[in-house]
A and B are shown apart, each in its own frame.
Chain A
């Protein structure tokens, strides 16, 4: 892998950029791999990268139905944070945060991790109780955060309407939170994994599994059967579909989730601002677009569409908090498919089929954990035993009752 740097950029400009290498190889699939990753989104590619980099397993293929990062990796609102309530969640999301901090340098690909701060607004006494509880919990988990009173919020976000229908009573700020460039995460992991020997195979659909005596032997694909010792499925919204191929059911439902961007404008929103009370979150991309996330619809769907009502609700909330944005224009809206668990925590787990592992259920908030998820999943796949950070997210919790209930406890949109 030739390194990217300002020097290489200048050197290549002398040859009119004719000599850049492919970012990742595009090989023919082999007949057999040690480990196959199903799904070439951020989490799957990160898993492959850490398998190669940290576990010494390079005999790995990532099989992607479409194009890398074409699912939720390329459709999210790029928010990165780790201010989760429960210890189990804090552990994995903050593990990801640690990796985000050096990710551009590690991958030698600028993923534009930008710790511009994530602000959670509180609009009621119960919101205040929620952020205080969560703020204290993450503080003791060593996740730096601070409380802002309304004056401080106003100081940070001067254009916010503080005394609207639901007044801003305070906020929880995680300074290390922020955004990253979503496509770059997929591409950066793909490039680095490929350089370490991982085969990245796009436009190839997994159509089934070869399972003998309750143990997976390989995958069937649109380009033929591929044998392997172990499979990690990282198929996000389509996890239930892939699970069904192995005769499994998951505690998941797939819902439409929409997002939108405005036309680009000069910098006006410097931080990520989230409000659960008014149901709006907003940031501004480096290109200048306001990036706005909506709620998910409540019906199962794989159509990557959502209802217009949701867009209306979202923008009502945005214009309530920022009345001047009423004149801003929506440039583009789109939908993704989010796989949601009842406790709003992911599933990183073995299954009833031996050597078939799943990493899914990230719901509306998987992007932020891409490095952490890939890292612990890689270690789990390498050893055949769950990494300690991943262990609480086993499917078994839906039988034992040991949920990691971020939804019930904090009512936070993820």
Chain B
């Protein structure tokens, strides 16, 4: 059972949160100019790394706000939490 540090509320149990996958995938704006392949990559393709993962969470049973986290998917260890729009913190090298 993970434990998360919601940047809005503080440390809470995993059961209050929901994960929404990879962070920092900006929605393309000039979509008409994208080919099907580029659009498909945006919609469906993910890095899915074993190691450092920048990801999105919501504090559903709390402030209901979104935030980002950095987690090592090999160990499930969280390395950082930060608000949307904030720059992704640099963390130690991939383990």
Q: How far is the CA of A302 from the CA of B48 in the complex (A)?
A: 10
Contact, CB under 8 Å: B49 / A240: yes
Instruction: For the complex, give the distance between the alpha carbons of A238 and B49 in Å.
Output: 9
Q: Is the pair B19, A299 in contact by a Cβ cutoff of 8 Å?
A: yes
- Cross-chain contact B74 with A303 (CB below 8 angstroms): yes
User: B1 touching A252 by the CB < 8 A rule?
Assistant: no
Of chain B, the residue at the smallest CB distance from A300 is B73
Given A309-B14, A399-B36: A299 in contact with B45 (beta carbons within 8 A): no
- CA distance in complex: A241, B51 (Å): 10
A279 to B24, CA, bound (A): 32
**A240 close to B47 (CB less than 8 A):** yes
What is the number of contacts between chain A and chain B, taking CB atoms within 8 Å?
Answer: 79
Say if the beta carbon of B37 comes within 8 Å of chain A.
Answer: yes
Report B-chain residues with C-beta under 8 Å of the C-beta of A305. Answer: 76
Interface residue from A240, A301, A400 paired with B36 (Cβ < 8 Å): A400
Q: A398 contacts B50, CB within 8 Å?
A: no
A308/B1 contact (C-beta < 8 A), A298-B19, A301-B73 known: yes
Q: Are B15 and A241 in contact (CB-based, < 8 A)?
A: no
A192-200, A243-251, A364-372 - the one binding chain B? A243-251
Report chain A residues within 8 Å CB of B74.
Answer: 302-303
Contacts of A244 in B (CB 8 A): 47, 49
B12–chain A nearest beta-carbon distance, Å: 13
> A320 contacts the other chain (Cβ, under 8 Å)?
no
Given A303-B73, A399-B40, the answer on whether A254 and B48 have CB atoms closer than 8 Å is yes
Number of interface residues of A (CB under 8 A): 27
Q: Tell me the B36-66 residues at the A interface (CB within 8 Å).
A: 36-37, 39-41, 43-50, 53, 55
| Cβ 8 A contact of A342, one of B15, B18, B44, B73 | B44
Chain A residues in 8 Å Cβ range of B91: none
Q: Do B19 and A250 have beta carbons less than 8 Å apart?
A: no
Of A249, A253, A300, most B-chain CB atoms within 10 Å: A300
Q: Mark A214-257, 1 if CB is under 8 A from B, else 0.
A: 00000000000000000000000010110010000111111000
Is A307 part of the binding interface, using a Cβ–Cβ cutoff of 8 Å?
yes
A residues contacting B by CB (< 8 A) are 238, 240-241, 244, 249-254, 297-303, 305, 307-309, 341-342, 398-401
Contact in complex: A252, B15 (CB < 8 Å):
no
User: Which residue in B41, B48, B76 is a CB contact (below 8 Å) of A253?
Assistant: B48
- Check B75 for interface membership: any CB of A closer than 8 A: yes
B21 contacts the other chain (CB 8 A): yes
Residues of B within 8 A of A249 (CB): 41, 45-48
Query: Is B46's CB under 8 angstroms from A253's CB?
Result: yes
B2: CB under 8 A from chain A?
Answer: yes
Q: Which residues from chain A contact B55 at a C-beta distance below 8 Å?
A: 299-300
In the docked arrangement, what's the CA distance between A23 and B14, Å?
A: 45
Residues of A within 8 A of B49 (CB): 240-241, 244
- Given A244-B47, A251-B44, A251-B45, 14 other A-B contacts at CB below 8 A? A238-B50, A240-B48, A241-B50, A253-B48, A254-B48, A254-B50, A300-B48, A301-B76, A303-B74, A305-B76, A307-B1, A307-B2, A399-B41, A401-B36
The smallest beta-carbon distance between A202 and chain B, in angstroms, is 20
Q: Inside 8 A of B39's CB, which chain A residues have their CB? A: 399
B residues near A302, Cβ cutoff 8 Å: 50, 73-74
With a cutoff of 8 Å between Cβ atoms, the chain A residues found around residue B44 in the complex are 251, 341-342, 398
**Given the complex, which residues of A lie within 8 Å of B36, measured CB to CB?**
399-401
A352 to B19, CA, bound (A): 30
CB of A170 to closest CB in B, whole Å: 32
Instruction: Decide: A300 near B21, CB < 8 A? Known: A307-B2, A399-B37.
Output: yes
Q: Nearest-CB distance from B73 to chain A (Å)?
A: 5
Which chain B residues border A301 with CB–CB below 8 Å? 73, 76
A-B contact pairs, 22 of them (CB 8 A): A240-B46, A240-B47, A240-B50, A244-B47, A251-B40, A252-B48, A253-B22, A298-B20, A300-B19, A300-B21, A300-B22, A302-B73, A303-B75, A303-B76, A305-B76, A307-B14, A309-B1, A341-B44, A342-B44, A399-B37, A399-B40, A400-B40
